[in-house]
């Protein structure tokens, strides 16, 4: 496959667009005699069939898109100068107006897409889809990043022995990967082609006991792949952990790790080889349906949470799967939308969390449903081969999301495993399987590439030592009541303790007037709102949590798990009232729409606790007209009116919000009778106990927002794109670039309601005595790269360059004092934001460090250290394809949020 550099790609894109416009009639006439795209199913072809005949044997159950090859639309001279591997699809009602190189820079693709806009009245549509045509493709293995271990800096380790949470050590999993690949290569060399292909191909939807299954090959037992990012899905006696967004809200690496370790133990205990998580998409759109599965709207926070989660999961012996790669930022039309992203934004925002997962040794990665710059993510050479396997040196395997596999030639684009294995659920056809074998036998795909695919899959298996007494699968994801296939193995242990602590630590105190919280033995408590109590159907009454009734502890979709139980706020408050030390009387009203009834219950009570929520999830489920993504950013169930009505009769109204993400709360947030607000996200099975711990001061809140809460939906930089029909592909241009979430608010001087990183405490903290100094290096392992970086040169990122030790090792130590200036012990989350020079093209402030200063006693002072790497001080150079230090002075601020800076300094470069 020809790979062009971004500058040449951009030039070619413009030339091709001009030629295509001039020859549009030729394209139309050529369509009837076009070559068949690799998106045509060839499942019925015998393994000995040549490429041409195999391609024509299209499964009748699969619709075939007509494809115009590059040579039929352009002069052969120009086409060959661009790439022999690109074709443009005539999709829906539009004809491709340009042919673009698969490796072209995102900016050129976005530009071409903008020129080919559709009607002015409908949503923006993508007119160019880039596919891989049938040809003959050779394969060369990717260079394996290598560096010598450095004691105290870069220790050699294995997934079972990661560094402690928050450590400044950069773990070196290279030797462990090398051993795993050596064993895998040896086994693969003994397999036939059909056996190697079998290891890459799922058995089909519902073809095994897990949501994804790789068959046994000889003595190798195959793999069980199972959701979800917050617990083992579709089985019993497991823990329903807090969602990713709640975990990120703790800003505590120790709890991120502890959750990962507990989940890893449960997945392994059930016999699962691959845990389908963590999810680390970026929350670009505030209404995004699956934002709650991820870790917030900042790449650094998301990356650190992903890093600790992967280390925790894999320490238990299960393979983690980082998902969804990449730019899968909305649910609507997720399989038919092209996320058009420029190269710098891709590197600095969306690639970063996946890079951190790779640095944690993640075994597998899941590519997403959407297109990226015109090419489906699961056959995208630029993202899978160039960025993932080359630049950041990923040594594991890439699986498709379920149904996100679109061609046999996706193997050339970088896809290693087809999930669940069939083209459509239950079709008994596959893009891999016999078709992949046929493509190797007829010379279309090199067998060396299939060797690479199988080796990557087996290497991940050996990396986690899953060949050593690994438990058998003990459940049936598709029939949880079948006695023959469900052993009901209890893997919960004492993991409820982790759930409860994260639920409390992830709760953000947004408002607290005159010490309304913690509660001080109120004589009477009114508990108001449907979200305070149980669902009429019980915690698991809605399949995949596809309903909002009762307290909200997780969103809906495949990112869920069964609750073993669910402690509601009402239940926990009553238990607290029974304690002799509390002595409170509790009344409640669970209706949200009978405002008079709610007011009657809240009237003359010492405190009224109003529980409200906002839900979302995956697009295969629609709840109250919300197709995965939220229709708007209001709270659900008449919540705003309920809060206002209660506050009208009770001057001490405390609001608790369980939400999948930000919501607009302007109707009541400044009401003086609303004395406190707690943002509790999605706490999991210990929801009620966790919130009661915070309400009564057993736990001093230390949570911080992982996103911005705006005053208006229009204040956010990107909006949900709706519309589209049939085979149309929505065009989603990431025009905000680097300015997502708080970066956009800062760059445009927009006042948020509550900024990113914000959170109050029952005490107060002061900062002082800032100091920064370079960290001495005794080795000269990468002296040439370090000198080039210091001189402002771009250091190329190829062959693992983006994860190189010299770039990521701690280079500067930032120290300062944090003092508890209040009367209660508490935890402070100290945050460090870098301010790049004006000409660097960066947002005003960029999070590059944080640390939790735990259990600081009243009037106690702690000395705190945060380190900065060269990577933290670098920007992506799209032209030079590497990282560089921008010209000019780099400053930084330390403080309590993205807008509460207490100390300022300059990096001594």
695 contacts 676 by C-beta, under 8 angstroms: no
- Note the pLDDT of residue 121: 63
C-alpha span between 318 and 310 (Å, rounded)? 10
Q: What is the mean pLDDT of residues 200-213?
A: 98
Q: What is the mean pLDDT of residues 399-408?
A: 98
Q: What is the pTM of this model?
A: 0.89
Structure tokens at 171: 């773990």
C-alpha span between 270 and 694 (Å, rounded)? 33
Q: What is the mean pLDDT of residues 344-373?
A: 98
732 contacts 338 by C-beta, under 8 angstroms: yes
Is it the case that residue 92 has pLDDT exceeding 90?
Answer: no
Structure tokens at 474: 């003990």
Q: What is the mean pLDDT of residues 617-635?
A: 97
State pLDDT tens for residues 454-482. 999 999 999 999 999 999 999 999 999 99
Is it the case that residue 307 has pLDDT exceeding 90?
Answer: yes
- Note the pLDDT of residue 522: 95
| Sheet of strand 508-512, all strands in order from the earlier edge strand to the far edge | 508-512, 674-679, 653-659, 607-614, 524-528, 585-589
H or E stretch at 851: strand 846-856
Percentage, residues of the chain above pLDDT 90: 84
pLDDT band at residue 149 using 50, 70 and 90 as cut-offs:
confident
Structure tokens at 742: 């708080």
pLDDT band at residue 198 using 50, 70 and 90 as cut-offs:
very high
Structure tokens at 217: 């090959």
State pLDDT tens for residues 711-723. 999 999 999 999 9
Is it the case that residue 60 has pLDDT exceeding 80?
Answer: no
Q: What is the DSSP letter of 142?
A: P
C-alpha span between 304 and 735 (Å, rounded)? 26
- Note the pLDDT of residue 224: 98
State pLDDT tens for residues 781-806. 899 999 999 999 999 999 999 999 99
State pLDDT tens for residues 805-832. 999 999 999 999 999 999 999 999 999 9
C-alpha span between 56 and 896 (Å, rounded)? 62
Is it the case that residue 55 has pLDDT exceeding 50?
Answer: no
Is it the case that residue 37 has pLDDT exceeding 90?
Answer: no
Query: Both ends of the chain: CA-CA distance in Å?
Result: 41
402 contacts 420 by C-beta, under 8 angstroms: yes
C-alpha span between 127 and 87 (Å, rounded)? 13
- Note the pLDDT of residue 122: 81
819 contacts 859 by C-beta, under 8 angstroms: yes
pLDDT band at residue 52 using 50, 70 and 90 as cut-offs:
very low
From the number of C-beta atoms within 10 Å of its C-beta (0-12, 13-18, 19+), residue 383 rates as buried
Is it the case that residue 667 has pLDDT exceeding 70?
Answer: yes
C-alpha span between 255 and 246 (Å, rounded)? 11
Across the chain, mean pLDDT equals 88
401 in catalytic set: yes
Is it the case that residue 741 has pLDDT exceeding 60?
Answer: yes
Q: What is the DSSP letter of 379?
A: G
- Note the pLDDT of residue 579: 84
From the number of C-beta atoms within 10 Å of its C-beta (0-12, 13-18, 19+), residue 116 rates as buried
Comparing 92-96, 503-507, 543-547, 732-736, which segment has the lowest mean pLDDT? 92-96
Q: What is the DSSP letter of 563?
A: -
Q: What is the mean pLDDT of residues 236-263?
A: 98
- Note the pLDDT of residue 583: 74
C-alpha span between 2 and 753 (Å, rounded)? 50
Q: How far is residue 176 from each of residues 147, 171, 364, 611, measured CA to CA in Å?
A: 13, 11, 15, 49
Biggest CA–CA distance in the chain, Å, is: 87
Q: Which residue has the higher pLDDT, 583 or 39?
A: 583
- Note the pLDDT of residue 120: 46
Q: Give residues with Cβ within 8 angstroms of 201, minimum separation 6.
A: 214, 417, 418, 421, 430, 432, 433, 436
pLDDT band at residue 75 using 50, 70 and 90 as cut-offs:
very low
pLDDT band at residue 148 using 50, 70 and 90 as cut-offs:
confident
Question: What is the per-residue DSSP string for 685-698?
Answer: TTHHHHHHHHHTTS
SS3 of 613-633: the string is: EECCECCCCEECCEECCCCCC
State pLDDT tens for residues 151-182. 889 999 999 999 999 999 999 999 999 999 99
Q: How far is residue 363 from each of residues 159, 311, 394, 633, 840, measured CA to CA in Å?
A: 10, 11, 9, 36, 35
Q: What is the mean pLDDT of residues 492-509?
A: 98
- Of 401, 733, 872, 877, the active-site residue reads 401
Question: What is the chain's length?
Answer: 909
């Amino acid at each position: 496959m020809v790979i062009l550099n971004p500058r040449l790609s951009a030039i070619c894109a413009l030339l091709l667009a001009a030629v295509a416009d001039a020859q549009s009639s030729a394209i139309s006439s050529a369509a009837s005699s076009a070559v068949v795209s690799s998106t045509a199913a060839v499942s019925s072809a015998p393994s000995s069939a040549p490429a041409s005949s195999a391609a024509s044997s299209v499964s009748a159950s699969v619709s075939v898109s007509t494809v115009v090859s590059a040579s039929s639309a352009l002069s052969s001279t120009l086409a060959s100068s661009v790439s022999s591997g690109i074709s443009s699809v005539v999709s829906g009602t539009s004809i491709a107006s340009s042919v673009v190189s698969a490796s072209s820079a995102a900016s050129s693709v976005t530009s071409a897409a903008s020129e080919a806009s559709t009607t002015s009245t409908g949503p923006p549509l993508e007119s160019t889809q880039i596919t891989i045509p049938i040809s003959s493709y050779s394969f060369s293995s990717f260079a394996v990043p290598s560096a010598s271990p450095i004691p105290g800096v870069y220790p050699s380790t294995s997934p079972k022995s990661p560094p402690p949470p928050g450590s400044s050590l950069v773990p070196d999993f290279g030797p462990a990967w090398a051993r795993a690949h050596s064993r895998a290569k040896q086994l693969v060399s003994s397999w036939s082609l059909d056996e190697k292909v079998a290891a890459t191909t799922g058995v089909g939807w519902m073809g095994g006991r897990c949501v994804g299954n790789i068959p046994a090959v000889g003595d190798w037992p195959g793999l069980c792949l199972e959701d979800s990012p917050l617990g083992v899905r579709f089985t019993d006696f497991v823990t329903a952990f807090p969602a990713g967004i709640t975990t990120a809200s703790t800003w505590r690496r120790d709890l991120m790790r502890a959750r990962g370790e507990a989940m890893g133990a449960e997945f392994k205990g059930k016999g699962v080889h691959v845990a389908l998580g963590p999810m680390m998409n970026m929350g670009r759109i505030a209404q995004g349906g699956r934002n709650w599965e991820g870790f917030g709207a900042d790449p650094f926070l998301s990356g650190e949470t992903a890093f600790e989660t992967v280390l925790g999961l894999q320490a238990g012996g299960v393979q983690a799967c980082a998902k969804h790669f990449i730019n899968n930022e909305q649910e609507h039309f997720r399989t038919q939308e092209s996320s058009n992203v420029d190269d710098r934004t891709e590197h600095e925002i969306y690639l970063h969390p996946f890079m951190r997962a790779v640095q944690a040794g993640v075994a597998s990665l899941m590519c997403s449903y959407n297109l990226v710059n015109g090419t489906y993510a699961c056959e995208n050479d630029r993202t899978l081969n160039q960025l993932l396997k080359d630049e950041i040196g990923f040594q594991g395997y890439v699986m498709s999301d379920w149904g996100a596999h679109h061609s046999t030639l996706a193997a050339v684009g970088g896809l290693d495993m087809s999930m669940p294995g069939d083209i459509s659920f239950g079709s008994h056809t596959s893009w891999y399987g016999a078709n992949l074998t046929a493509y190797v036998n007829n010379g279309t795909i090199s067998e060396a590439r299939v060797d690479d695919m199988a080796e990557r899959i087996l290497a991940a298996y050996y990396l986690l030592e899953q060949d050593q007494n690994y438990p058998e699968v003990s459940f049936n994801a598709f029939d949880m009541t079948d006695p023959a296939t469900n052993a009901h193995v209890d893997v919960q242990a004492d993991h409820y303790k982790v759930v409860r602590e994260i639920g409390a630590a992830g709760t953000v105190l947004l408002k607290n007037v005159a010490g309304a919280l913690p509660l001080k033995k109120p004589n009477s408590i009114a508990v108001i709102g449907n979200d305070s109590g149980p669902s009429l159907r019980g915690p698991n009454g809605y399949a995949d949590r596809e309903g909002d009734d009762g307290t909200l502890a997780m969103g809906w979709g495949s990112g869920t798990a069964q609750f073993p139980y669910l402690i509601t706020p009402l239940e926990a408050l009553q238990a607290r009232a029974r304690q002799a030390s509390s002595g409170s009387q509790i009344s409640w009203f669970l209706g949200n729409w009978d405002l008079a009834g709610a007011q009657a219950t809240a009237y003359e009570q010492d405190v009224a606790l109003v529980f409200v929520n906002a839900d979302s999830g995956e697009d295969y489920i629609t709840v109250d007209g919300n197709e995965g993504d939220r229709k708007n950013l209001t709270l659900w169930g008449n919540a705003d009116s309920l809060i206002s009505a209660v506050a009208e009769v009770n001057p001490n109204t405390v609001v608790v919000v369980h939400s999948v993400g930000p919501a607009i709360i302007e109707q009541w947030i400044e009401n003086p009778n609303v004395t406190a607000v707690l943002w509790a996200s999605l706490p999991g099975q210990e929801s009620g106990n966790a919130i009661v711990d915070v309400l009564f001061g057993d736990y001093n809140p230390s949570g911080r927002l992982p996103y911005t809460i705006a005053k208006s939906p229009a204040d956010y930089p990107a909006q949900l794109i709706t519309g589209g029909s049939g085979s149309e592909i929505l065009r989603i241009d990431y025009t905000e670039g680097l300015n997502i979430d708080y970066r956009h608010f800062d760059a445009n001087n927009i006042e948020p309601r509550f900024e990113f990183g914000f959170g109050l405490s029952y005490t107060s903290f002061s900062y002082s005595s800032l100091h920064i100094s370079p960290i001495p290096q005794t080795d000269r392992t990468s002296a040439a790269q370090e000198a080039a970086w210091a001189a402002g040169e771009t250091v190329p990122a190829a062959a693992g360059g983006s994860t190189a030790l010299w770039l990521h090792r701690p280079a500067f130590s930032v120290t300062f004092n944090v003092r508890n200036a209040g009367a209660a012990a508490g935890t402070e989350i100290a945050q460090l934001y870098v301010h790049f020079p004006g000409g660097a093209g960066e947002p005003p402030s960029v999070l590059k460090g944080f640390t939790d200063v735990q259990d600081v006693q009243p009037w106690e002072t702690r000395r705190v250290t945060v380190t900065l790497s060269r990577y933290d001080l670098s920007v992506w150079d799209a032209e030079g394809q590497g990282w560089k230090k921008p010209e000019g002075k780099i400053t930084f601020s330390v403080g309590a949020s993205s807008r509460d800076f207490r100390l300022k300094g300059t990096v001594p470069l």
